[in-house]
Amino acid sequence: MSYQHFKVEIADKVAQVKFNRPDKANALHIEAWVEMQKIFESLSTDETVRVIVLTGEGKHFCAGIDLELLMSVNSFKAIGCSAKRSEKIRNFILELQDTITAIEKCSKPVIAAVHGGCIGGAVDIVSACDMRYSTADAYFSIKEIDLGMVADIGTLQRLPKIISSAIVSEMAYTGRKVSGKEAEKIGLVNRSFDSPDELTDGVMQVAHAIASKSPLSIRGTKEIIRFTRDHNVDDSLNYIATWNAAMLLSNDLTEAFKATMEKRAPEFED
């Protein structure tokens, strides 16, 4: 796949998606936001892909929204009608939200591998990923408070369901940097690694382990985890019963049983 602001490579059923604006610390302008949504919507239906690793080229993972994109909101001041101006701004925010939601709704697990800075809108992005790993010296910052604004594209909605709401409040109120080591301690990342090379090796081991499993089961598990996060236990139990009523008797189930009986690794269909 060829993109202008991202590198996308697929090998051994793992898609590696890399922010590719290293001269801008991988800050995302509007063209990159549009491209990112297309990438994740495409990979969601790509039968050759079973898991996605999201990382960044250069020194940093991602510096979030390009400041020029944020400043472009000032152009809405020229709209004379306050209602129309507010409508334009709301639609602009919703479009950015939709791009990040495309990561969350992607049918394949998405693993964020963070080095360097993960700043502002990048925290929104990793909050929508299924798993997060980082280098020990990486850092995470909800930077919007220092720009005189409220984070508005997912961090304040998703992060409290990942880590303590009190820690989210501290990060959001102060804008301070949370190191990779601290991120591991508070549960923001699954694990921190001493170097970028170790991060890459560790994340790819996880990615290949996921890619070896039943694709149907992995997609279903992601769907159920996401549903359960937003619903009560009774609704979630009812949903998984309905899901498995439709999906349980699959070729993947048959292959898993055969492989166990034959004492070999299963080979699942794409």
Q: What is the pLDDT of residue 74?
A: 82
Q: What is the pLDDT of residue 223?
A: 96
**Options 144, 153, 184, 220, the catalytic residue:** 144
Q: What is the pLDDT of residue 71?
A: 83
Q: Are 88 and 32 in contact (CB under 8 A)?
A: no
Q: What is the pLDDT of residue 61?
A: 98
Q: What is the pLDDT of residue 117?
A: 98
Say how many C-beta atoms besides its own lie within 10 A of residue 114's C-beta.
31
**Options 152, 198, 223, 255, the catalytic residue:** 152
Dump pLDDT digits (tens) for 86-143: 999 999 999 999 999 999 999 999 999 999 999 999 999 999 999 999 999 999 999 9
Q: What is the pLDDT of residue 39?
A: 98
**Options 100, 119, 124, 252, the catalytic residue:** 124
Does the structure show a pLDDT above 80 at 1? no
- C-alpha to C-alpha distance for 222 and 219, rounded to whole angstroms: 5
- C-alpha to C-alpha distance for 117 and 64, rounded to whole angstroms: 9
Say how many residues make up the chain: 270
Mean pLDDT for 245-267 is 91
Residue 46 is among the residues annotated as catalytic for this protein? no
Residue 65 is among the residues annotated as catalytic for this protein? yes
Residue 154 is among the residues annotated as catalytic for this protein? no
Q: Are 265 and 259 in contact (CB under 8 A)?
A: yes
Mean pLDDT for 29-43 is 96
Does the structure show a pLDDT above 90 at 77? no
Tokens matching residue 125: 């992005």
Mean pLDDT across the chain, nearest whole number?
95
Q: How far is CA 127 from CA 54, 101, 152, 153, in A?
A: 12, 10, 13, 10
User: What are the structural domains, with CATH classification, of the chain?
Assistant: 6-211 (3.90.226.10), 215-261 (1.10.12.10)
Mean pLDDT for 10-37 is 96
Dump pLDDT digits (tens) for 198-253: 999 999 999 999 999 999 999 999 999 999 999 999 999 999 999 999 989 999 89
Residue 120 is among the residues annotated as catalytic for this protein? no
Residue 146 is among the residues annotated as catalytic for this protein? no
**Options 116, 121, 154, 220, the catalytic residue:** 121
Mean pLDDT for 166-179 is 98
Binned at pLDDT 50, 70 and 90, residue 68 comes out as: confident
**Options 39, 52, 64, 65, the catalytic residue:** 65
